[in-house]
Amino acid sequence: MAKIQIDGTFYEVKSEKNLLDNCLALGFDIPYFCFHPAMGSIGACRLCAVKKFANADDKRGRIVMSCMEPVVEGMIISTDDPDVKAFRESILEGLMANHPHDCPVCDEGGECHLQDMTVMTGHNYRRYTFKKRTHNNQYLGPYIKHEMNRCIQCYRCVRFYRNYAGGKDLNVFGSGNRVYFGRQQDGALESEFSGNLVEVCPTGVFTDKIFNKHYARKWDLAHTPSVCQQCSLGCNIIVSERYGMIRRVMNRYNGSVNGYFICDRGRFGHEFINSPDRIKKVHLRASKASELLEVDESCTLSDFMGKKVIGIGSPGASLESNFALLNLVGKENFSHGISEAEHKLTNQSIRLLQSRKVYSPSLKEIEKSDAILVLGEDIAKTAPMMALAVRQAARSESIKLGEKLGIPEWNDYAVRELDQNHQGPDFIVTPSATKIHELVEMAGQAFAKAENPLIITGISGGNEDILDACSTIADALKKQGKKLSVSIVFPECNSVGLALLDGLTLEETEERIDGRQKAEEKIDTVIILENDLYKRASKERIDAMLKKCRQVIVIDHLMNETARQADVLLPAAAFAESAGTVVNNEGRAQRFYSAVPLTGQLKPGWSWCNDQWENLDQVVNALVDAYPVFSAIKNQMPDADFRCSNEKIARQTMRSSGRTAMNANISVSEPKPPQDNDSPLAFSMEGYKGSPPSGLIPYYWSSGWNSVQATNKYLDEPDGHVRNGGDPGVRLFDDIDKE
Amino acid sequence: MLSLIRSIFYTFLHAFHKRETQDYPEKMPYLPPRYRGRIILSRDPDGKERCVACNLCAAVCPVDCISLQAAEGDDGRRYPEFFRINFSRCIYCGLCEEACPTYAIQLIPDFEMADYNRQNMVYEKEHLLISGQGKYHGFNFYKEAGVNMGVKATGGGENENQPVDLKSLIH
Amino acid sequence: MKYVFIIAGVMIVVLTIAAGLIYVERRLLALFQDRRGPNRVGPFGVFQVVADMIKIFFKEDWVPPFADKAVFIMAPGILITSIFLTFAVIPFTDKFLVLDSNIGLLFFLGNSSLGVYSVVLGGWASNNKYSLLGAIRASAQMLTYEVFMGLSLVGVVMMADSFSLREIVEVQKNGWFVFPQFLGFMTFFIAGIAETHRAPFDIPEADGELVAGYHSEYSGMKFGMFFVGEYMGVTMISALITTLFFGGWLGPAFLPPAFWFFFKTGIFICLFILIRASLPRPRYDQLMEAGWKVLLPLVLLNILATGAILLLKHTT
């Protein structure tokens, strides 16, 4: 910590961070482009100038770049000196000289960092009357659109893509006024993090092509905090809606999980919600031989319930949906719908994580590990954001080396020059590898030296022996007084949550349905909840199982193979249309909320599976009563009655437009805004607009900061933790630890 | 007291003054060309829609009576997929016209839009779009903007250099 | 039988005038304000009255749930009744009058005092802050102005030596009382405006401050009764001014006496409207101050002077 004087006031600041970072944490509006809290600074844009004074008598001072300035005890700076302001304005004028006049057709417009900075520096009139430099654009694949004319040469894209995320195919070309950011030739970007270029780029060079297909301005979108359901990491996302349709997914900052970035699967994988294959209506089959037909009448699940019912849940469905089904059919008739092997391994993994032996680290803690052993899991495929965290952890040695030489971590380019691509001790071991013993031995040595050793493994490639080995290593390390971190990648977004409920395996379910029992125990109805069984076992096995049931009820959102076999097909709301809780691989329970008001016959899974509970809170109450392991969810997540200043939190921005015209083609009388009984968020522009509790932040905006850079205004410090309640989510395994 | 009587007398004299009332439906009033009445969407000199669906008119509208959805043609040209104005809410303030970066949305001197059915006052794009350029002639946004959207090639604008050839060493 | 005809005749005449005033007032106000006024319904808009009547009759007759229902309904009835009763003693001609009472003038004063109940009860029963404020203002205003309304007529009574309105008119064969009793006429006229709470003394209603005051909550025909009641009040005061100061039905014989009566009354009705078009509303305290500190001494002075002159005449 150091005490410095900014604009005549003294502040306590962190000496390991640079001046800009500290000023932003204190809430000063210093314009910047090239600095990124997660990537450090390189001093490329020259915009974050401040004036530094040698001592109290120095009245003239000198202009320095705050992002390249270490904090020194007693330093005196001014952020709003007239010289500094003029300097920033002239820098921006230079950057704008070649910037095209196309904001109206630019997808970044309205959430553009360059627009914000232009306004902030006060550059209003264009004096440069000569011709503008232009560039040809490249085809960068189906996700990212390239418009190089808009570039302001901040280097953020290549720094993220190459240095931070380890991509190889995006680079900087040319020199002087011709600097070009792109690929060597046209082609799809290869990195699984390419989507982050949209958020990293301060202007509209890289824009979201998927979003462009149904574009809406940021101010018009209704934003909802949600949780990505594409893998077991549970990255936080913002789902945005306009005219009742999901438009895009953006990153939602969670200092313990995904930070500033999400992978492409999370960002672009939401489009299935708008798919023509969506089940939007109840489908019925008159007899086994007839077609599955759409029905217009509304109905409930109880219309079709048989005498002996078995319910198959899903690790891809929310905790509440699974519990509602469990409650409907009874514990002994509830199946997890996963194979015996997966079931066993999952349970064993959770027992390991729940035990006090090992620590279950968050992604942010993985970044801080100094020795990592990856056992039998291809994390780049099954949990890409964990691979990104491991990549950061691999730099731990060079950062330590830099510190030794007096180069702070934020001085990114210098640290990278120093390490010359040297990577820290992390080892990737697959059980099929031949030299496994040798590698493990090496890893053992590294672990002995490390302070935060970490083992990463997973269900998909793992086996019981690995888990046993983890346990043994943990015991060994314990003797040295160290705690082993173990991070296990699970196959689906709620695998952990489901495993905490009772249930049968798929094999046991088949046996129950098989009909070898007594006649009165014969199963006549099976309810399958958001689970495509054909992906979990061979076609013959599932066909045989479903054929034996008198009636197959499927509750799902996409017309998949299982849905086609249904006798009764009920339309389920997808994750962006319903609220619920999922538990990620770390044991962190996180709540997602519906981004679209439900229409027609769509209902969330938990709503189909029960008649007694009217909203999510009632399901959660019953869940906690039945399974006390989840009590932290009830205690720590705001329920639907939660209010900020007596108001619900508005999903729409205060600039939201078209309220009196968007439904006017149907009826000129404006309807009442749809009600949301499951969350403290409102489908309206009316409501609380300040800084809501961390898990309920619908979008990032602050006066003068319309771009995603406004994220920092919601954090205790850039790259820190979310203000007003800490990082969202409740760690369930910690609670057990405390007991 | 006298002043009161004087006031009464002056008021009485007004009985013999000329009437100020405009006999509107019988006698049409004069409307200046920049009168802010009905809203139209104009076309550029090439006869294509000027609106690029930037949403600025909708954002600035104080009564939120404009709603539209952007779409892109095969050539990359942006246009509104639908463009709806609810004239039963419109206050004819003209802010949409001021916000429009392409002169697409314009207010014209026609105010006779009353209707017995409010539903009839919802205008879609086909009701709004006229075939001419309206008040502003000769402006084509895509010729000025730095993007290639089928109107001019990259670097083909009046204020643009030819695109940089990265493979060349000469600046 | 004859009385029935006369009573019916008086009621029809009064109601017709009052209803006609709805149109006449709007036309005259337009005239004084350089406008055209209602000119859409029928020739010169004369059927505007019919249109207004249709509207007011068919409007939902709504009693607010928070109101004191019985009193709320009763209040406009009191107003109409008290004004109708006053017309019983007004001599339209020497033949055409309902009741030639020897206490006619006192009967009028008594009845006009009853009118205050309607306003107070209407405002009270509405159970609405603004209405109650209007009612309080109205009661204070009407009580104040009633005092010297009565006193302003003492001079006339002294000169005519009678309370009978018919006799007062007949005494004026030798000269209208407006000349000897000019002060009385002026004060009576001002008090009359205040008594009917017409502009500029419409403080109990005061649209801008009290949202129509005591009748805020009234709608439909109950509001219509207040509305028409106001015009009947205007007619009544004008008729009394004519009777007491301008010789009633007396006039040159080439036209019937009834014409002269209605002609004179009409002029005063127009004067009421002209004053409404000209003068702004005074503040409440100004109104009370003018009443107690200016008009009351003037009236007392008038009585003193009249008495002294009559005494002098009598003795000489």
| Interval C257-288: pLDDT, tens | 888 888 888 999 999 899 988 888 888 888 88
| Encoded amino acid at C224, one letter | G
pLDDT class for A699, splitting at 50, 70, 90?
Answer: very high
Q: Mean pLDDT over residues B19-33, rounded?
A: 87
- Pair (A193, A251) in one structural domain: no
Examine residue C11 and state whether it is found in any structural domain, yes or no.
Answer: no
Lowest mean pLDDT among A47-56, A202-211, A635-644, C99-108: C99-108
Contact A105 B147 (CB under 8 A): yes
| Encoded amino acid at A139, one letter | Y
Q: Which two tokens stand for residue A729?
A: 């989510």
Q: Mean pLDDT over residues A95-102, rounded?
A: 90
If phi > 0 it is left, if psi is from -120 to 50 it is alpha, else beta; for residue A130 that is beta
Examine residue A727 and state whether it is found in any structural domain, yes or no.
Answer: yes
Q: Which two tokens stand for residue A24?
A: 């932003």
Contact B19 C36 (CB under 8 A): yes
Q: Which residues of A touch B171 (CB under 8 A)?
A: 176-178
Identify which of B15, B18, B20 has the shortest CB distance to residue C32: B15
Examine residue A302 and state whether it is found in any structural domain, yes or no.
Answer: yes
Site of tokens 């709003």: A80
pLDDT class for A680, splitting at 50, 70, 90?
Answer: very high
The two most distant CA atoms of chain B are separated, in Å, by 97
The Cα of B10 is separated from the nearest Cα of chain A by a number of Å equal to 49
Contact B162 A243 (CB under 8 A): no
Coil, helix or strand for A320? helix
Q: How far is Cα A697 from Cα B124, in angstroms, rounded to an integer? A: 35
Site of tokens 């009564």: B63
Is the dihedral angle over the CA atoms C259, C265, C271, C276 positive or is it negative? negative
Strands A76-78 and A49-53: antiparallel
Whether residue A353 is predicted with pLDDT greater than 50 in this model: the reply is: yes
Q: Which residues of B touch C298 (CB under 8 A)?
A: none
Say if residues C190 and C299 touch (Cβ distance below 8 Å). no
Q: Which two tokens stand for residue B8?
A: 């009464």
pLDDT class for A37, splitting at 50, 70, 90?
Answer: very high
Examine residue A263 and state whether it is found in any structural domain, yes or no.
Answer: yes
More confident residue, C38 or B41: B41
- Give the per-residue pLDDT at A653: 93
- Pair (A647, A721) in one structural domain: yes
Positions of E strands within A278-370: 282-285, 292-295, 309-312, 334-335
Chain C: residue nearest B6 by CA? C278
In DSSP terms, A294 is beta-bridged to A283
Whether residue A576 is predicted with pLDDT greater than 90 in this model: the reply is: yes
Examine residue C289 and state whether it is found in any structural domain, yes or no.
Answer: yes
Coil, helix or strand for A133? strand
- Element of type H or E holding A635: helix A631-636
Whether residue B27 is predicted with pLDDT greater than 60 in this model: the reply is: yes
pLDDT class for C127, splitting at 50, 70, 90?
Answer: confident
Identify which of A100, A137, A661 has the shortest CB distance to residue B67: A661
Q: Mean pLDDT over residues A319-342, rounded?
A: 92
Identify which of B4, B11, B19 has the shortest CB distance to residue C277: B11
Rounded to two decimals, the pTM is 0.80
Size of the A and B interface in Cβ pairs below 8 Å: 133
- Give the per-residue pLDDT at A432: 52
Chain B: residue nearest A182 by CA? B166
Whether residue B80 is predicted with pLDDT greater than 60 in this model: the reply is: yes
Residue length of chain B: 171
Q: Of A313, A252, A716, A373, whose CA–CA distance to A497 is shortest? A: A313
- Pair (A368, A458) in one structural domain: yes
- Element of type H or E holding B123: strand B122-123
Q: Which residues of A touch B70 (CB under 8 A)?
A: 215-216
Contact B102 A667 (CB under 8 A): no
- Count of the separate structural domains present in chain A: 5
Burial-class residue A203 by CB neighbours within 10 Å (0-12, 13-18, 19+).
Answer: buried
Q: Which residues of C touch B21 (CB under 8 A)?
A: 34-36
CATH topology of domain B29-143: Alpha-Beta Plaits (3.30.70)
| Chains in contact with chain B (at least 3 beta-carbon pairs closer than 8 A) | A, C
Whether residue A462 is predicted with pLDDT greater than 70 in this model: the reply is: no
| Chains in contact with chain A (at least 3 beta-carbon pairs closer than 8 A) | B
Chain B: residue nearest A102 by CA? B145
Examine residue A620 and state whether it is found in any structural domain, yes or no.
Answer: no
Q: Which two tokens stand for residue B29?
A: 């009033």
Q: Which residues of C touch B12 (CB under 8 A)?
A: 32, 274, 278
- Give the per-residue pLDDT at A739: 40
Residues above pLDDT 90, as percent of chain C: 3
Contact B89 A662 (CB under 8 A): no
Instruction: Examine the fold and report which residue of A490, A518, A542 is the final residue of a domain before the chain moves on.
Output: A490
Q: Of A235, A322, A313, whose CA–CA distance to A586 is shortest? A: A235
Residue numbers of B between 85 and 124 with CB closer than 8 Å to A:
85-86, 88-89, 101-102, 118-119, 121-122, 124
Q: Mean pLDDT over residues C27-42, rounded?
A: 87
Coil, helix or strand for A704? coil
Determine contact: B75 vs chain A, CB below 8 A.
Answer: no
Q: How far is Cα B97 from Cα B2, in angstroms, rounded to an integer? A: 54
- Count of the separate structural domains present in chain C: 1
- Pair (A81, A119) in one structural domain: no
Best B2, B4, B6, B8 residue to mutate vs chain C (most C CBs within 10 Å): B8
Residues above pLDDT 70, as percent of chain C: 99
Whether residue A435 is predicted with pLDDT greater than 60 in this model: the reply is: no
> Which CATH number fits the domain that encloses residue A600?
3.40.50.740
| Encoded amino acid at A144, one letter | I
Examine residue C156 and state whether it is found in any structural domain, yes or no.
Answer: yes
Q: Of B136, B40, B32, whose CA–CA distance to B87 is shortest? A: B40
More confident residue, C74 or A289: C74
Say if residues C31 and B13 touch (Cβ distance below 8 Å). no
Q: What's chain A's average pLDDT?
A: 89
Q: Mean pLDDT over residues B58-84, rounded?
A: 92
Whether residue B31 is predicted with pLDDT greater than 60 in this model: the reply is: yes
Examine residue A346 and state whether it is found in any structural domain, yes or no.
Answer: no
Lowest mean pLDDT among A7-11, A213-217, A519-523, A712-716: A519-523
Say if residues A735 and A635 touch (Cβ distance below 8 Å). no
**Domain extent for C177:** 61-315
Contact A216 B55 (CB under 8 A): yes
Q: Taking the CA of residue C23 as centre, how many other CA atoms within 13 Å lie in the half-sphere pointing to its CB? A: 20
Q: How far is Cα A657 from Cα A433, in angstroms, rounded to an integer? A: 58
Coil, helix or strand for B25? coil
Contact B7 C279 (CB under 8 A): yes
Q: Of A28, A117, A223, whose CA–CA distance to A689 is shortest? A: A223
Lowest mean pLDDT among A422-431, B111-120, C192-201: A422-431
Residues 6+ apart with CB under 8 A from A522: A308, A515
Say if residues A585 and A631 touch (Cβ distance below 8 Å). no
| Encoded amino acid at A716, one letter | D
Write out the residues of chain C at the interface with chain B, using a CB-CB cutoff of 8 A: 31-36, 274-275, 277-279
Is the dihedral angle over the CA atoms B50, B52, B53, B54 positive or is it negative? negative
Please state the ipTM of this predicted complex.
0.87
Write out the residues of chain B at the interface with chain C, using a CB-CB cutoff of 8 A: 4, 7-8, 10-12, 14-15, 17-21
Q: How far is Cα A95 from Cα B163, in angstroms, rounded to an integer? A: 18
- Give the per-residue pLDDT at A518: 64
Identify which of B11, B18, B20 has the shortest CB distance to residue C32: B11
The Cα of B29 is separated from the nearest Cα of chain C by a number of Å equal to 17
Angle between helices C129-152 and C104-125 (to 10 degrees): 170
Q: Which two tokens stand for residue A265?
A: 């699967």
Q: Which residues of A touch B88 (CB under 8 A)?
A: 668
Identify which of A131, A150, A665 has the shortest CB distance to residue B122: A665
Contact B21 C275 (CB under 8 A): no
> Which CATH number fits the domain that encloses residue A188?
3.30.70.20
Identify which of A99, A149, A664 has the shortest CB distance to residue B86: A664
The Cα of C64 is separated from the nearest Cα of chain B by a number of Å equal to 30
Q: Domain locations in chain B?
A: 29-143
The two most distant CA atoms of chain C are separated, in Å, by 69
pLDDT class for A517, splitting at 50, 70, 90?
Answer: low
More confident residue, A423 or A555: A555
- Give the per-residue pLDDT at A737: 46
Q: Which two tokens stand for residue A327?
A: 């409650």
pLDDT class for A527, splitting at 50, 70, 90?
Answer: very high
Q: Give helix then strand counts, H and E, for chain C.
A: 13, 0
Examine residue C56 and state whether it is found in any structural domain, yes or no.
Answer: no
CB atoms within 10 A of CB C237: 26
Q: How far is Cα C214 from Cα C206, in angstroms, rounded to an integer? A: 10
- Give the per-residue pLDDT at A434: 44
First CA to last CA distance, chain C: 49
Identify which of C31, C35, C275 has the shortest CB distance to residue B8: C275
Residue numbers of B between 19 and 58 with CB closer than 8 Å to A:
52, 54-56, 58
| Chains in contact with chain C (at least 3 beta-carbon pairs closer than 8 A) | B
Q: Of B138, B123, B134, whose CA–CA distance to B83 is shortest? A: B123
Strands B39-41 and B105-107: antiparallel
- Pair (A247, A300) in one structural domain: no
**Domain extent for A165:** 103-213
Q: Mean pLDDT over residues C13-25, rounded?
A: 85
- Element of type H or E holding A3: strand A2-6
Q: How far is Cα A185 from Cα A138, in angstroms, rounded to an integer? A: 7
Cα torsion through A550, A555, A560, A561, rounded to 10: -20
- Element of type H or E holding A634: helix A631-636
Identify which of A133, A661, A667 has the shortest CB distance to residue B64: A661
- Pair (A371, A470) in one structural domain: yes
The Cα of C84 is separated from the nearest Cα of chain B by a number of Å equal to 30
Q: How far is Cα B38 from Cα A661, in angstroms, rounded to an integer? A: 16
pLDDT class for A101, splitting at 50, 70, 90?
Answer: confident
Whether residue A460 is predicted with pLDDT greater than 50 in this model: the reply is: yes
Summarize pLDDT for A117-152 with one digit per residue, the tens: 999 999 988 899 899 999 999 999 999 999 999 999
Examine residue A663 and state whether it is found in any structural domain, yes or no.
Answer: yes
- Give the per-residue pLDDT at A738: 45
Q: How far is Cα C29 from Cα C9, in angstroms, rounded to an integer? A: 29
Q: How far is Cα A177 from Cα A731, in angstroms, rounded to an integer? A: 51
The Cα of C36 is separated from the nearest Cα of chain B by a number of Å equal to 6
- Element of type H or E holding A554: strand A551-556
Q: How far is Cα A679 from Cα A648, in angstroms, rounded to an integer? A: 9
> Which CATH number fits the domain that encloses residue A44?
3.10.20.740
In DSSP terms, A239 is beta-bridged to A224, A249
Contact B59 A219 (CB under 8 A): yes
Contact B85 A661 (CB under 8 A): yes
CB atoms within 10 A of CB C116: 21
What would you report as the CA-atom Rg of chain C, rounded to the nearest whole angstrom?
20
Whether residue C248 is predicted with pLDDT greater than 60 in this model: the reply is: yes
Contact A134 B163 (CB under 8 A): yes
In DSSP terms, A371 is beta-bridged to A453
Residues 6+ apart with CB under 8 A from B137: B45
Q: How far is Cα C73 from Cα C54, in angstroms, rounded to an integer? A: 21
Say if residues A452 and A485 touch (Cβ distance below 8 Å). yes
